Structure 1
Amino acid sequence: MSGSVNKVILIGNLGRDPEVRRMNSGEAVVSFSLATTESWRDKMSGERRDRTEWHNVVIFNENLGKIAEQYCKKGSKVYLEGQLQTREYQDRDGNQRRTTEVVLQRFRGELTLLDSRGGGRGDYGGDAMVEGGGNASFGRSSPMERSQDRPMDRNEDRMSDRRSSGPGRMADVIDDDIPF
């Protein structure tokens, strides 16, 4: 095989709220820690054991960064795809350090919010998924677009919504129960 693959897929919970920093160019960089936990039953004692791994995640993709910044909080469950990257830096004491991070590049990567609506970790209207440089594809309207006096009902007639919604509002009525 002549090529190689550097792809990381993680499902876990945020260990801290996303932190947004700006590069000299003005572009946002979002970072947070993600905990993945492996559970098993000890064969000798029969008790439940857990091992948690912590991953530093850095997002350079503008769309993914906005989703993380607006909708992710400490404890939020997410699915993400990125690449491993190791970089060197000097700490405050002048010591040379190395760190390995899961990086979601500008045109690669995926971030999917897995918490259910009303799960207590921010109301973002359900699952959201953004890929690469793609658009946010919410199954329902975002909290800012949703009418305050009339929450959207999953069982209402979608065709009447499509006819009355006008151009540019199709994303608000797309059914999110599609099995793929």
Structure 2
Amino acid sequence: MIKLTAIGNLGKDAMLNNVNGKNVINFTVAHTERYKDAQGNQKDKTTWVDCAYWTERTGIAPYLKKGTQVYVEGQPDVRTYTTKDGTNGATLTLRVSSVQLLGSRSGDTSPSSGGYTGSGYQSAPASNASPMTPSSDITEAFDDLPF
């Protein structure tokens, strides 16, 4: 089995479809790599991944908005095609097994703007974290390393 992971931004809002009685969420993820060419000029190269998330858990669909940064993983597939003018092309597709919301460009957290304040999609606030023990209260020996 080949597994592909990608982190990138959604190129447009996700679309929830029903195919033969099964739910699928379709979206595209883009990652732009910046590099310098041989002459020292800065260049951008964007890679697009067409994603299909076959799931009954469609509650995430309203949060998959254009510009939202996501982490996706699944099984990749490269599809080749021939255009009308005879040139060959290829697209990278991903049958998504897992998707995680990472954030949005605007910083807005409303579902209509790509945020993710819904239950189950937001990490616990820092105020709920357990307090750390001050270093003066540690009584264990520091030379007992576990490795």
Equivalence for 2:17: 21
Q: Which amino acid aligns with 2:51?
A: V
Q: Which amino acid aligns with 2:4?
A: V
How far does the alpha carbon of each residue in 1:38-97 deviate from its partner, in whole angstroms, 9 at most, with x for none? 11123423x32110011110000222x431x12111111111111113579xxxxxxxxx
Equivalence for 1:79: 71
Cα deviation for residue 123 of structure 1 reads 3.4
Cα deviation for residue 15 of structure 1 reads 0.9
Q: Which amino acid aligns with 2:30?
A: A
TM-align CA RMSD: 3.2
Q: How many residue pairs align between the two structures?
A: 118
1:58 aligns with 2:52: yes
Cα deviation for residue 6 of structure 1 reads 1.1
Equivalence for 1:33: 28
TM-score, structure 1 normalization: 0.54
Distance 1:39 1:70, change over 3 A: same
Gaps of 5+ in 2: 81-89, 130-147
TM-score, structure 2 normalization: 0.65
* Alpha-carbon separation, structure 2, partners of 1:76 and 1:137: 13
* Alpha-carbon separation, structure 2, partners of 1:37 and 1:84: 19
* Bigger relative contact order, structure 1 or 2 (CA pairs below 8 A, ≥6 apart): 2
Q: Are 1:117 and 1:123, in contact at CA under 8 Å, matched by a contact in 2?
A: no
1:7 aligns with 2:34: no
What is the DSSP-based 3-state SS (H/G/I as helix, E as strand, rest coil) of the residue aligned with 2:103?
coil
Distance 1:56 1:40, change over 3 A: same
Cα deviation for residue 124 of structure 1 reads 1.8
> Which of the pair has more CA radius of gyration?
2
